[in-house]
Amino acid sequence: MNRARNMSVRLAVVLLPTMLLAAGLNRSGAPAFSTGAPGEGTCAACHTGNPVNSPDGSLHLVSESTYAPGETLDVTVRVAHPDAARFGFQITAQDMSGTPVGTFDVSGQNVQLALGSPDHVTHAPAADSNGEFEWVVPWQAPIEGAGEVTFYAAANAANADFTSSGDFIYTTAHPVAQGAATGTDRVEDAVPVGFRPGPAYPNPVVSHARLTIPIEGRPRGSITLTLVDLAGRVVRTAATDDAKGFDSNFQLHTAGLTPGMYFARIGDGRSEYSIPFMVAR
């Protein structure tokens, strides 16, 4: 009897820290490769209960529209949800081939390199705040440049109830072109005046369902959508009739799409943006 009781006590002592670590937001930082970049997962692998990119909240990356080779670009990670009380994030930067590029500066407050990867930055620690929070992450571009660079980020707007359920996960992709930075052309999610596509929802979306991509502002022409898979193959195209009839949402039926990662490339004839989403079984 005493032996069984002692084993139970020892087991509880061993398991309790593990259970506490697994419950709720990873206060010490998110595990690497959780940004939603091609081939990566998101925080939704552990935090469940709500669809990814719920329309109730948002995640935006804000920076200059271009970077200069060898210079530092400040990227602001801004996440919001009216019911959230604790926030975390992870970000990485990749070139057009999917290779990590540049160097993140984590010498400031509230940020650190994610465990296991020098190319991913996460919170340090999770931030307690009501409704919204933001981090500034400096990124130094390669001296030789890297062409267009896309910043991929995922964020957790958590309810701070010390469990992994009921939290809100958001993802976004933020392309920045190579060029001479002017310091005056600041954009949010790299979208200039005209129109701005938001995160797709629900994400992940099941097959034979409808995916919605909200669009803010008025496009300067017909909106076109090219759907590509993770290998870059075009699997579908679509278009609106004209900008006047645009209803602020682009809807895509997922019938016929095999489970996996996709990118919806949306443009109005002058600009094109890439919106990631995943089709689940």
3-state secondary structure 102-115: CEECCCCCEEEECC
Tell me, yes or no, whether 181 and 163 share the same domain.
Answer: yes
273 phi-psi bin (left φ>0, alpha ψ -120 to 50, beta other): beta
φ, ψ (nearest 5 deg) of residue 50? -140, 150
Q: Give me the number of domains the chain comprises.
A: 2
Look up the CATH number of the domain holding residue 169.
2.60.40.4060
In a domain, 5, yes or no: no
Give the residue with greater pLDDT, 14 vs 236: 236
Q: Give the Cα separation of 271 and 192 in Å (integer).
A: 9
Length of the chain: 281
Last residue of a domain, one of 131, 165, 188: 188
State whether 69 and 155 are in the same domain: yes
CB 109 within 8 A of CB 167: no
Residue 25 lies in a domain: no
Q: Which of 135, 158, 188 is the last residue of a domain?
A: 188
Domain assignment present for residue 37? The answer is no
Q: Residue 153 falls within a domain, yes or no?
A: yes
**Where a domain ends, among 188, 212, 242?**
188
H or E stretch at 251? strand 249-253
Distance CA 202, CA 212 (A): 7
CB 157 within 8 A of CB 79: yes
Residue 20 domain-assigned (yes or no): no
- The angle at the Cα of 232, spanning 263 to 78, to the nearest 5 degrees, equals 35
For 131-172, what is each residue's pLDDT tens digit? 999 999 999 999 988 999 999 999 999 887 777 767 899 999
Question: In this structure, which amino acid lies at residue 114?
Answer: A
| Pair of tokens at residue 135 | 């981090």
234 lies in a domain?
yes
CATH label of the domain that carries residue 252:
2.60.40.3080
For residue 98, what is the DSSP state?
A: S
Residues 60, 156 share a domain: yes
Domain of residue 238 covers 195-280
* Amino acid sitting at position 268: D
The reply to whether 11 falls in a domain is no
Q: Do 75 and 125 share a domain, yes or no?
A: yes
Per residue in 70-105, pLDDT tens? 999 999 999 999 999 999 999 999 998 889 999 999
pLDDT, mean over the chain: 78
**pLDDT at res. 48:** 66
pLDDT at residue 277 tops 90: no
Dist CA 227 CA 251 (whole Å): 12
